Amino acid sequence: MVAEQLINYMVPPLKKEDDITRAKQWMDEFSVKQLPVIDKQKLLGFISEELLYDSGIMNAAVGEYPLTGESCFVVVGSHYYDILKVKNNHDMEMVAVLDFDENFKGVVLESDVVREFTHTAIVNSDGAIITLKISLNEYSLSEISRIVEMNESIILGTNIRPDKDDPSLIEVVLRINHQSVNQIVTGLSKSGYLVTSSFNAEDNSHNERDRYGLLMKYLNP
């Protein structure tokens, strides 16, 4: 899924000459805290709810406010992973989408991307979950897949993120197509991988079931 397919046409852009009353009404109507501001189909930036209600700034038109997020955009063919990266870099709830001539096409909300992510195999498929902690230099998905496939299973999806305590490490989340992964965990451990947790739906432990449910709630809000 690319940016052009995720545009939320319910959220309109403001023109720089629009008054703040319209901006406030639209933010309230569409339940957003930012809105894009354009001029002749070119993105000028975003105006925030915080600015509009700042008693120290009393401008008549939105274009007179100090806009932010001028570079908070992706082009129409960008993958939704890139949308999330740009959103996180700018700490925004939406990202503008531009065509290849830099004309404004619309915005993608964070919630739109999350909704799309919940349709991926790592979230939406049945199966167990294994999390590993690995040195970035030693990471090899092909080697991990080989160990999983030796136990007559396959990896349905992966998610990788840096370890918050050690930037040289990464956390790898694996979605496996089988519910019981005890043999896979043993195989990974014997091969030198640090298995930090496994969420096995067939485990009779109430604690494991609770942890599994919490992870699913996190991945599929």
pLDDT at 204: 40
Please determine, for residue 125, whether its predicted confidence score (pLDDT) is greater than 80. no
* Mean pLDDT value across the chain: 87
* Strand pairing report for 155-162 and 104-109: unpaired
The better pLDDT of the pair 1, 196 is held by: 196
Q: What is the pTM of this model?
A: 0.69
- Average pLDDT on 25-37 reads 95
User: What pLDDT, on the 0 to 100 scale, is given for residue 115?
Assistant: 83
Model confidence at 176, pLDDT cuts 50, 70, 90, reads: very high
Evaluate if residue 205 carries a pLDDT over 80. no
For 65, residues 6+ apart whose C-beta sits below 8 A from its C-beta are 47, 51, 52, 57, 59
Amino acid at 211: R
182 pLDDT above the threshold of 50: yes
Question: In this predicted structure, what is the pLDDT of residue 135?
Answer: 93
CA distances from 177 to 14, 131, 142 (A): 47, 15, 17
Tell me the three state secondary structure of residue 204: coil
User: Band of the pLDDT at 210, cuts 50, 70, 90?
Assistant: low
Look at residue 87 in the predicted model and tell me its pLDDT.
93
- pLDDT tens per residue, range 45-102: 999 999 888 877 878 899 999 999 999 999 999 998 899 899 999 999 999 999 999 9
Pairing of strands 194-199, 128-135: antiparallel
Average of per-residue pLDDT across 152-157: 91
Does residue 173 surpass a pLDDT of 70?
yes
